[in-house]
């Protein structure tokens, strides 16, 4: 996975290679919609998730409640300026074996070393918080997420916020995912037509 901070303090991230993106489930207050109930346009190519300062989280795939209303998937999360306490921005469920990628790390890469873990991680949690909260976590060497059996964490700091990647195994996980699933909490912004 790669990640960069944009000039406004938001984050863009993605997976190397050309994964196939598709929508599995949309959970709304009124109803839960499966992929069969949504008009989608899968994306094949370099995967990217953008966490904008505005709170909009965008994927490359398209979806809509009608064929003519398909638009780039947008989830409305918290505005960056309103984030103070740690907040979960995404949860990525992982299979037991990740797709291999031959890449020699550079000084600009984030490395998460889990060689001492008793078993492979089951998820990656992406969080955002005001810098002062991350400094408190670092001083106390506390876990970022209290349900973790083990964690391996790295972070990117901006002038105001810290974005945290936590590769972990949760006490709530009883099995591995069959593939990579990305869960984005927030309200769906549907296209209108």
Measured between alpha carbons, how far is 36 from 20 in angstroms, rounded to an integer? 17
User: Is the Cβ–Cβ distance between 168 and 118 less than 8 Å?
Assistant: no
What are the two backbone dihedrals, phi and then psi, of residue 67, each rounded to the nearest 5 degrees?
A: -60, -40
What are the two backbone dihedrals, phi and then psi, of residue 135, each rounded to the nearest 5 degrees?
A: -60, -40
Residue 51 confidence (pLDDT) above 90:
yes
Q: What is the residue-averaged pLDDT of the chain?
A: 84
Q: Where are the alpha helices (DSSP H) in 107-187?
A: 131-140
- pLDDT of 97 reads 82
Residue 52 confidence (pLDDT) above 90:
yes
Q: Where are the alpha helices (DSSP H) in the chain?
A: 131-140
Q: What is the pLDDT of residues 107-155, one digit of tens each?
A: 666 677 777 878 889 999 999 999 988 887 767 667 788 888 888 888 8
What's the domain count of the chain? 1
Among 84, 2, 17, 85, residue whose Cα is nearest residue 49: 2
| pLDDT confidence bin for 18, thresholds 50/70/90 | low
Among 11, 52, 1, 50, residue whose Cα is nearest residue 162: 11
pTM for the predicted model, two decimal places: 0.85
- pLDDT of 16 reads 67
DSSP 8-class letter at 82: G
**Residue 172 placed within a domain:** yes
């Amino acid at each position: 996975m790669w990640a960069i901070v944009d000039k406004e303090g938001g984050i863009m991230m993605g997976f190397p290679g050309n994964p196939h993106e598709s929508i599995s489930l949309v959970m709304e207050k009124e109803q839960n919609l499966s992929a069969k109930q949504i008009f989608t346009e899968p994306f094949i190519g370099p995967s990217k998730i953008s966490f904008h300062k505005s709170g909009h989280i965008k994927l490359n795939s398209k979806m809509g409640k009608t064929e003519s209303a398909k638009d780039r998937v947008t989830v409305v999360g918290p505005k960056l300026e309103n984030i103070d306490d740690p907040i979960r921005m995404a949860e990525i469920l992982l299979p037991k074996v990740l797709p291999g990628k031959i890449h020699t790390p550079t000084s600009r890469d984030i490395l998460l070393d889990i060689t001492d873990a008793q078993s492979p991680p089951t998820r990656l949690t992406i969080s955002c918080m005001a810098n002062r909260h991350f400094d408190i976590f670092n001083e106390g060497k506390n876990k970022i997420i209290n349900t973790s059996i083990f964690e391996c964490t790295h972070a990117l700091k901006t002038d105001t916020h810290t974005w945290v990647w936590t590769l972990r195994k949760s006490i709530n996980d009883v099995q591995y995912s069959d593939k990579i699933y990305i869960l984005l909490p927030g309200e769906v912004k549907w296209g209108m037509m």
